[in-house]
Amino acid sequence: MSHIITPDICDAHPDVQVLEPVFLNLGGREAFCGPLRTLACFEDNALLMQMLAEPGDGAVLMVDGGGSQRCALLGDRLAELALENGWVGVVIYGCVRDVDVLAEMEFGVQALGVHPRRGSANGSGQRDQPMHVAGAHLAPGQWLYADNNGIVIAETRLPLE
């Protein structure tokens, strides 16, 4: 993977979208990128588990958790499942848990915050649909680039030097 520096991406590609600076970088892989997949699920991680059990093929999953700060949608077990199945990372508009373990994994994780309680597993939500999260319009197939400076979205894969 090329070296990802989101300020340089913004300078070279001023048409990229930049997500609002509300995310914490909590995974062991501080910089990551990949084709975008999407999931909307509010305080329910059953579909998240289902998606992460499927081949990721180097993709990044954006999870719109509605900004909930009442439970975590991802923890160490789901992150391990994602890593085993070829996902590069997840960005969660919501919370995660098990952050000490996540920080040791070679997996990208960004989220709004941390919460010790896990979400429900009822299976509600929508996969691979366009969404509006953190001030950006997101759709499956776009490219997500993330590092300690922020998260940018490009319509297509960008040439990085």
The string of pLDDT tens digits covering residues 110-144 is 999 999 999 888 888 899 999 999 999 999 999 99
Mean of pLDDT values over 152-161:
91
Question: Does some domain include residue 1?
Answer: no
Binning pLDDT at 50, 70 and 90, where does residue 16 land?
Answer: very high
Residue 161 lies in a domain: no
Task: Please give the Cα distance from 5 to 60 (Å, whole number).
Answer: 17
Q: Are 21 and 151 in contact (CB under 8 A)?
A: no
For residue 28, being part of any structural domain is answered with: yes
Contact assessment for residue 32 and residue 105, using Cβ atoms and an 8 Å cutoff: no
Owning domain of residue 112: 6-154
> What is the predicted pLDDT for the residue at 123?
80
Residue 160 domain-assigned (yes or no):
no
Q: What is the pTM of this model?
A: 0.94
Q: Is the pLDDT of residue 155 over 80?
A: yes
**pLDDT value at position 160?**
79
In a domain, 83, yes or no: yes
The count of domains in the chain is: 1
In this prediction, residue 1 carries a pLDDT of 45
Distance of alpha carbon 51 from alpha carbon 18, whole angstroms: 25
What's the CATH code of the domain at 132?
3.50.30.40
User: Could you read off the pLDDT of 71-112 as tens digits, one per residue?
Assistant: 999 999 999 999 999 999 999 999 999 999 999 999 999 999
The verdict on residue 91 lying in a domain is yes
Question: Is the residue at 84 inside a domain?
Answer: yes
Is 110 part of any domain? yes
For 23-68, the pLDDT digits (tens) are 999 999 999 999 999 999 999 999 999 999 999 999 999 999 999 9
